[in-house]
Structure 1
Amino acid sequence: MANGLAGKAQEVAKEDYDKARVLLNDAAKSGSYMYPIKGIFYFCTHPGLWKPLRSKLLPYMALYSSVLGSMFFFTYLPQLAVMAFVNGPLAVITTALLILNESSTITGIISKNYLLQEAIMDTFDGTLMARNASKVVAEGRELKARGDSIERLGKALKKPFTRFSVKELVRYVMYLPLNFIPVVGTIVFVFLRGRARGDSVHDRYFQLKGWPTSRKSKWLQQHKGPYTAFGTVATVLEMIPVASVVFSFTNTVGAALWAADIEAKENEMAGSTAPELREAAKKAE
């Protein structure tokens, strides 16, 4: 019986290892993990994209300060008591870091679904405009004839990003205790959060393209590695206290740059295939 269970455990472990290896290999080949970094540089060098962030910065800081103050006041001592068993004297520091992370995440969930939703959508669409993908943006909103990439954005014709997700909050609460395990627990927490984060980075792109849920799910399944890699890097950046709001926008820029590259590749493939189809049609005649 024991030998059978041990063999089964080894089999499951091997399957999980093989899946993880394929996932990491796909992520490395895609280079998707670089897009959040590219987003930072692109955002910094294109001041026109700063407008949506500037318009929401003060309200965000007010929200963050309220959440952070409440978290320290109500949860510091209870969490300190738990962390003391795990980290000993370092619990004073690790508890403070945990609350900073929690506050940043709570603020992010609230702000992205309400306060920052339209600003993030404008940043995504504006980046696509700057990358000459206006045809895609035009599928989801009116465009003006003049102005920079943000100023040309008119009324949205399609609904913005999906609002508050209970699943997202439940998933975060489920994963949170992993942080009580030093180092390894935090790494696993970030990876799991990154995998969930990756599934939503192109929601706006899929919306503009008019993809049904089935096609979106199939695409994400086929590209699970690249999206997990992007989501993990984006999650790490957005875990940085205070600066997380800035990285929310730079990650959005990175996601739009990635979408623009996907679109350009798709157009290139369509362009190269069209002459072949025309030639085949002539031969058929």
Structure 2
Amino acid sequence: MAESEHREAKLRNRVVDSISRRAENALKEDYGKARVMASDAVQSQAYLYPIKGIFYFLAHRSLWQPLIDRIVPYGTLTISVIAAMFTIAYLPQLAVLLLFNGPLAVYSTVLLTLNESSIIIHMISRTWILQEALMDTFDGTMVSRNATAVVQQGREVRPGSDPMKKLGKVFKKRFEKMSLTSMVRYFMYLPLNFIPVVGTITFIFLHGKHRGRIVHSRYFQLKNWSESQRTQWLNTHTGAYASFGVVATLLEMIPVVSIFFSYTNTVGAALWAADIEMQNNAMVKETAPNLRQAAESIE
């Protein structure tokens, strides 16, 4: 009997040791990935481009027209969605979050409702209201940054001094619409908001990380990159695109002025693409030869 118990104890110890080693290895691997991602984000300075987009947009009046043309329909949509969500969804969600978050539930529910409103507005506006305007804003910004040759791969560019008036007929695929997979992923992340503070931050990070992977969809279209080329580039620069996406997501969560940030984030993405194209970004500078080689190998 004692010998049997001894064998069982040894077996349990082996199992515990095995689990401990695997957990330790997993933590080391995740920590390593996090360090690489953070290093990529810092080195690329991609998180600054949404802010650069604000100042560049304000300084270039020619980029304003697509926004001005869409203010009324987008504003109506925004007010309608936010009002409906706070009327219908706020109190039921508050009642649930009170069980998990206590007094913090008031703030968590506001953020959750704004997040939900934001994704609904994003889905509707990107499909029916802003799609063409954001594409024009991206292309116009690229032209203003002397990346005309890239834009000409997807549309006619006429002579002139005003970058927006130079944009002609489009003959390449438009901005990508929000996919069903993206919507499913978003709603899968929603329960994270039940976790006080940390859960909401994690939700914003995960949503922003995915958002970052689509900010250069127009650039990739203009460059004629295949799906495998896009995936290789995005996987090489995960941290950079995640940092851009998180900042862009936070800006577009601000009620009422979210349409303004939709345009400035598009401008920021175009500025980033122009810098990559001119190799004026840390992602492709000689100080990081491995990244530069990755960029050149895709061409």
The TM-score with structure 2 as length reference comes to 0.85
Distance 1:184-1:256 versus aligned 2 partners, 3 A rule: same
Unaligned 5+ runs, structure 1: 270-285
Contact 2:51–2:268, Cα closer than 8 Å, also in 1: yes
Matches of 1:97 and 1:223, distance apart in 2: 29
- Indicate which of 237, 245, 250 corresponds to 1:223: 237
Per the alignment, residue 207 of structure 2 pairs with: 193
Question: Residue 124 of structure 1 aligns to which amino acid in structure 2?
Answer: F
Are the aligned partners of 1:195 and 1:232 in contact in 2 as well (CA < 8 Å)?
yes
C-alpha distance in 2 between matches for 1:94 and 1:57: 29
Q: Any runs of at least 4 consecutive aligned residues in structure 1 with deviations exceeding 4 A, and if so which?
A: none
Alpha-carbon separation, structure 2, partners of 1:18 and 1:100: 33
Shift of 1:95: 2.1
Secondary structure of the 2:89 match is: helix
Distance 1:237 1:91 in 2: 22
Matching residue's letter, 2:166: R
Structure 1 CA distance for aligned equivalents of residues 177 and 239 of structure 2? 25
Q: Partner residue of 1:3?
A: 17
Moved more, 158-167 or 42-51: 158-167
Higher Cα radius of gyration:
2
Percent sequence identity over aligned pairs: 56
| Structure 2 residue aligned with 1:133 | 147
| Structure 2: segments with no counterpart, 5+ residues | 1-14, 286-299
For residue 218 of structure 1, what is the amino acid of its counterpart?
Q
Match of 1:205 in 2: 219
Kindly indicate whether the alpha-carbon contact (under 8 Å) linking 2:141 and 2:271 is maintained by their aligned counterparts in 1: yes
Q: Shift of residue 93 of structure 1?
A: 4.3
User: Which deviates the most, 89-98 or 107-116?
Assistant: 89-98
- The match for 2:184 among 166, 170, 187 is 170
Q: What residue number does 1:142 align with?
A: 156
Q: Distance in 2 between matches of 1:95 and 1:232?
A: 20
- C-alpha contact 2:104 2:196 (8 A) present in aligned 1: no
Match of 1:59 among 45, 53, 73: 73
Structure 1 position 87 matched with structure 2 position 98 = no
Give secondary structure in 2 for the equivalent of 1:22. helix
- Greater Cα offset, 36-45 or 160-169: 160-169
Which region of structure 1 is more displaced relative to structure 2, 248-257 or 186-195? 186-195
1:63-120 per-position Cα deviation (integer Å, ceiling 9, x unaligned): 1122122212221221011011123344344323321221122101221122100000
Q: 2:28 aligns with which of 14, 27, 30?
A: 14
Q: Distance in 2 between matches of 1:225 and 1:77?
A: 36
Give the counterpart of 2:173 among 155, 159, 165.
159
Local SS of the residue matching 1:151: coil
Task: State the distance in 2 between where 1:34 and 1:42 align.
Answer: 12
Task: Summarize deviations over 1:111-137 as a string: whole Å, max 9, x none.
Answer: 112210000000000000110111111
Q: Which residue of 2 aligns with 1:254?
A: 268
Aligned residue pairs, count? 268
Q: Does the alignment pair 1:96 with 2:110?
A: yes
CA distance in 1, matches of 2:232, 2:256: 36
The two structures, once aligned, show a CA RMSD in angstroms of: 1.7
1:241 aligns with 2:283: no
In structure 2, distance between residues paired with 1:219 and 1:96:
36
3-state SS of paired residue (1:265): coil
